Amino acid sequence: MQYCKTQIRLYSVCLFLLTIFSCNNNGKNPDGNIIDDPHAMNNKVAENIEAALQVALQNAGKIDDSTQLDLKQVVYRFYNDNQYRPVWSSLGKWVPLADTLYNYIVHAENEGLFPNDYHVKSLKFLKDTLDADSITRMNSAYWTRADLLLTDGFLHIIKDLKQGRLQPDSLSMNRDSVLVDRFFIASMNDLLAKKDFSGLLISFQPKHKNYWELKKGIKRFVDSMDRREFTHVVYPFKRGDEKDSLYFIKQLQKRLFESNCIEALSGLPDSARLSKAIKKYQVQHDLQADGKYGKNLMASLNSNDVERFKRIAITLDKYKQLPEKMPSKYIWVNIPGYYLVVVDSDTISLESKVIVGKPETRTPLLTSKISDIITYPTWTVPTSIIVKQYLPRLKNNPNYISRIGLKLLNGKGDVIDPNSVNWSKYSRGIPYRVVQGSGDNNSLGVIKFNFNNPYSVYLHDTNQRYLFKNAGRALSHGCVRVQEWEKLAYYIANNDSALSNRKDSLRYTADSIKNWIAKKERRRIDVKNHIQLFIRYFSCDGMNGVVKFYDDIYGEDKQLMEKYFAKK
């Protein structure tokens, strides 16, 4: 019986809403939506808002076929606390804050946001309609819809600026939904009381300096965006598969045509014509003009401004996952940017190129602290390298590891003759350690920086320092090779010296490290004042008002786009 009463009441409310929202563009109102007396408008809009929210609560946020609230529960609680009074209009006129919010939504891309997330199309229609003439401004249904959409849009903006969009099922403020609602409602009330729109939105966002540097470049990027959508060319394709190869050439031809690099053809181009078109594209985009297709060409062809904007949005949201307050001193490694910086009191004290893991042996994302330094370290080969690279060779040639300068050790540390081991019975690992002794030819170079992590990775020098000349430096097995390892070691030592209360208790200095390296001595140095380390994957940075993009070397941003931004 109670269920039937509820359904009848909901049905009645729906009929009422159908009446108040079925306004035509002429503003005619056979059912009482036109309010001649401006002083009666607020009461009518409040009545409409209450009815609309009752439907939204029981209909997954939908008020009608064209209106859906994303944060229906908090919108309801806000209006319920305020007797359903309209907040963005009064007496049939916009309040100044409404214009401010509307313009923010229209230009939300300049903030790394997507206008369509905040009802921009519906709001534009309502704004244009209500601003058109005085008769239309008497229509309470339009003011009702505008108020609800502006409130929902503003609350959604708060959510995206505070938390980001990469964790949609939880709010960083608090997991208790009631407390989350209180946060939103308090923010709305703060805005209405103080009218400080920009200041309030700034307060929700990260304090990280580089976050704001990136935001400085967004408007310039948006103003010059090429919004065309291009054909995505699948690469690599299955070589030797004629059907797959032909499809690849067909897609490549279509993509080159879209960039005006090849004319329209009824059939597939011959190799000379295709090479000429590729070379034309390469010249236009500052690539090596060899007329050949490969990884670099495909990365450029499949990258466009729409995708780049999504990468900006993803990177902004990654800043929101960092600690609210960063340490006064920390080491920052950006994997796609191939760089390391030491930040001291918000100033970069040290910069270095780095070499990071290959896509198949990725450098992990982590937060840790530098715990100790080892000069002239030995290298214990990770099990993954032993299984993938060494075991197949050892089964054919037991002397392989000796030939490349490595030793086989048992659990006691005794050297084992590789010829005495039956390698054929091992496939997932071996009961031995494979170790490279210290020296100038050691893969870790002459210094290693340890930090606690479950991946057995570290920062270190390298015996292949020439690789730092490469533009693309995803070349390691997962560890991070640091070009300016000396400067990093001396910075850590000087930091320990500066912070040490008892100088005699500090058993090393920068000069000590220099002497041990000069003498090729193996030393383990405990770092007294651990410096925090952040290894992150940020595929763009802001530099001097311009957004600088890096290759999405692990495809991580592509996966995030497909998961969170596919329909934007």
d(CA 259, CA 60): 44
Q: Is 156 helix (H, G, I), strand (E, B) or coil?
A: helix
pLDDT (0 to 100) of residue 21 = 59
Contact assessment for residue 214 and residue 547, using Cβ atoms and an 8 Å cutoff:
yes
Contact assessment for residue 350 and residue 364, using Cβ atoms and an 8 Å cutoff:
no
Contact assessment for residue 212 and residue 105, using Cβ atoms and an 8 Å cutoff:
no
Q: Express the helix, strand and coil content of the chain in percent, nearest 5 each.
A: 45, 15, 40
d(CA 129, CA 413): 82
Q: What is the pLDDT of residues 330-384, one digit of tens each?
A: 999 999 999 999 999 999 999 999 999 999 999 999 999 999 999 999 888 888 8
- The DSSP code for 168 is T
92 CB-contact burial (10 Å; exposed 0-12 / middle 13-18 / buried 19+): buried
- The DSSP code for 367 is E
Q: Is 94 helix (H, G, I), strand (E, B) or coil?
A: strand
Q: What is the pLDDT of residues 204-214, one digit of tens each?
A: 999 999 999 99
pLDDT (0 to 100) of residue 25 = 41
Q: What backbone torsions phi and psi does residue 28 show, to the nearest 5 degrees?
A: -70, 150
Contact assessment for residue 10 and residue 55, using Cβ atoms and an 8 Å cutoff:
yes
d(CA 438, CA 444): 9
- The DSSP code for 536 is E
ω into 431 cis (within 30 of 0):
no
Q: What is the pLDDT of residues 495-552, one digit of tens each?
A: 998 877 655 556 788 999 999 999 999 999 999 999 999 999 999 999 999 999 999 9
Domains defined along the chain, listed by start? 2-205 (no CATH), 327-378+444-554 (2.40.440.10), 379-436 (no CATH)
Spell out, as residue ranges, where the chain has pLDDT lower than 50. Answer: 1-13, 15, 23-30, 169-176
Contacts of 505 (CB under 8 A, 6+ apart): none
pLDDT (0 to 100) of residue 5 = 45
Number of CB atoms found within 10 A of residue 170's CB? 10
Amino acid (1-letter code) at residue 18: L
Amino acid (1-letter code) at residue 457: V
Contact assessment for residue 432 and residue 409, using Cβ atoms and an 8 Å cutoff:
yes
First to last CA, the chain: 44
Contact assessment for residue 54 and residue 10, using Cβ atoms and an 8 Å cutoff:
yes
Q: Is 514 helix (H, G, I), strand (E, B) or coil?
A: helix
Contact assessment for residue 539 and residue 284, using Cβ atoms and an 8 Å cutoff:
no
